[in-house]
Amino acid sequence: VTRLSARAVGGIPEVSAGDDLAALIVAALGEEPLGEGQVLAIAHKAVSKAEGAVVALAGVHPGARARELAARIAAEGGQQKDPRAVQVVLDESAEILRSERGVLICRTRHGFVCANAGVDASNSAGPDALVLLPRDPDASARKIRERLRTLLSGRRGEEAAAPAVLISDSFGRTWRYGQLDVVIGLAGMQPLDDWRGRLDAHGLELQATWLAVADAAAATADLARAKDSREPVVVIDGLERYLSTEDGPGAAALLRAPAEDLFR
Amino acid sequence: VTRLSARAVGGIPEVSAGDDLAALIVAALGEEPLGEGQVLAIAHKAVSKAEGAVVALAGVHPGARARELAARIAAEGGQQKDPRAVQVVLDESAEILRSERGVLICRTRHGFVCANAGVDASNSAGPDALVLLPRDPDASARKIRERLRTLLSGRRGEEAAAPAVLISDSFGRTWRYGQLDVVIGLAGMQPLDDWRGRLDAHGLELQATWLAVADAAAATADLARAKDSREPVVVIDGLERYLSTEDGPGAAALLRAPAEDLFR
């Protein structure tokens, strides 16, 4: 019987630029086991802050397009947007897909489609600071995994097997209300489980079935987390069948090629 | 510490029209507890089959539009589609949003946006049968919940509190590869958790945070299920904070009003 479980890790302090996030996580876990067969899911803000992917609005000079977009959003009755914040969103975007109803739907430089290019206000870094997505979230996941392997090996006195590392953000969806956590960076877990063409329990070919298992894991982690608490990290057990020693293709493999997308 | 867990329920037989699905689930659970504080997640096919929402292709006469769409899909190099199957999809649709690249993206009569209006081939019902979505999945969830309450009360000799009931289907997404289970019918669980305007652990107002917790639960359930096994039912523990004695607004509350949608 498969049993899936997820628990939030308490006691992780506020993260600042330059912090060794993997070390903070290992310290917070104490004697709780972490390793092979587990997924360590991290809300991206902790990763972004550790990497210094934070922008102070005071140093941003909005260009003409940012000022124009901010004015249009205000005119449409959307949430008031600081033109400097809009400039930061534009800097993070490869393409603006929609700017309606006070919302900017962007394709980020990485290829993610989400509101405001993933740029968030930071509660902890002050009202004047914005948190960006990590520069290369798959690389961030690989680095954290490698650092965990080193730290866990040291602790156990042997070469340790590292958990998979999953970095998530909350994205809105088309057609449905509410946000859902999805994976933006991944190492050591397959992002997709491809059953197309395989046979089912009846020996018949399964219909097109191509499961976004890493996104499902990100959604699971968010359910184990209380939004008002400082719990960026969740440990998931029970996904061994999707894990690998190799880092694998990362979350980039989840991004539909723009040319293949029916909704632009 | 929050701990979330999910386990698939084994031993549920193939479901046919007229079956008492709640009774089959209670029998399969045996002495395992089921009740208040738990979510019973059911893959929609089991519900559809029990309700007889199955169409035999032999009795379907494709109209002109179905034949035209089937021909266009074939010409575009998509998967060959039986014009009768296209007719069934049209019958289930309020609107066809896209018919490109061999895929029909539909808004169903219920308001769900998904490929083929949720119409699936049925492995068990034979190659000539298609399984539809339940007529009214929220009503299905409420009925199954009520029936569970009756069955569990009888078993315990007292008025039992029923688990929440969640009916899911696997939908593709815009911009990202792979399918993710989402909720299409719900009773006893809030679909959305609204943190907009609330304060965070720092006493500052949280950014727009509106979590689709029922969809996250559907994704969690699917991770606990092996796709090649007959495990339509998953029991989830650890979501007490989202559950209620009342059935609540159902999955219908997750459907973005078409007029509010930026992607049509």
Query: pLDDT of A165-207, one tens digit each?
Result: 999 999 999 999 999 999 999 999 999 998 877 765 555 555 6
Give yes or no for A196 touching B (CB within 8 A).
no
Q: Mean pLDDT across the stretch A123-148?
A: 90
Q: In this structure, what are the phi and psi dihedrals at residue B4, rounded to the nearest 5 degrees?
A: -105, 135
Residue A255: strand, helix, or coil = strand
- CA triple B96-B100-B106, angle to 5 deg: 20
Sign of the CA dihedral running B172, B173, B176, B180: negative
Give yes or no for A192 touching B (CB within 8 A).
yes
Residue A221: strand, helix, or coil = helix
Q: What is the pLDDT of residue B229?
A: 67
Contact A217, A4 (CB under 8 A): no
Q: Test B256 with A175 for CB contact under 8 angstroms.
A: yes
Q: What is the pLDDT of residue B17?
A: 95
Give yes or no for B132 touching A (CB within 8 A).
no
Cα(B236)–Cα(B5) distance, rounded to whole angstroms?
6
Partner residue opposite B212 with nearest CB, options A6, A177, A260:
A177
What percentage of chain A has pLDDT greater than the value 70? 89
Q: What is the pLDDT of residue A141?
A: 98
Tell me the average pLDDT of chain A. 89
Q: Mean pLDDT across the stretch A114-122?
A: 88
Partner residue opposite B4 with nearest CB, options A174, A224, A255:
A224
In sequence order, the 6+-apart residues with CB closer than 8 A to the CB of A45 are A120, A122, A131, A232
Q: Mean pLDDT across the stretch B108-135?
A: 88
pLDDT higher than threshold 80 for residue B258: yes
Q: Test A228 with B199 for CB contact under 8 angstroms.
A: yes
Q: What is the pLDDT of residue A79?
A: 66
Partner residue opposite B212 with nearest CB, options A176, A199, A229:
A176
pLDDT higher than threshold 90 for residue A49: yes
pLDDT higher than threshold 70 for residue B201: no
Pair of tokens at residue A1: 């019987």
Q: Test A210 with B256 for CB contact under 8 angstroms.
A: no
A151-A154-A160-A164 Cα dihedral, nearest 10 degrees: -10
In this predicted complex, what is the ipTM?
0.94
pLDDT higher than threshold 70 for residue A157: no
State the DSSP H helix or E strand holding residue B93, giving kind and residue range, or none if neither.
Answer: strand B93-100
User: DSSP labels for A33-78?
Assistant: ---TTEEEEEEHHHHHHHTT-EEEGGG----HHHHHHHHHHHHTT-
Q: What is the pLDDT of residue B264?
A: 76
State the DSSP H helix or E strand holding residue B140, giving kind and residue range, or none if neither.
Answer: helix B137-156
Q: What is the pLDDT of residue A94?
A: 96
Q: How far is A147 from chain B (nearest CA, A)?
A: 26
Pair of tokens at residue A125: 């870094």
Q: Mean pLDDT across the stretch B178-197?
A: 94
Pair of tokens at residue A146: 């490698």
Give yes or no for B124 touching A (CB within 8 A).
yes
Give yes or no for A6 touching B (CB within 8 A).
yes
Q: What is the pLDDT of residue A122?
A: 66
pLDDT higher than threshold 80 for residue B144: yes
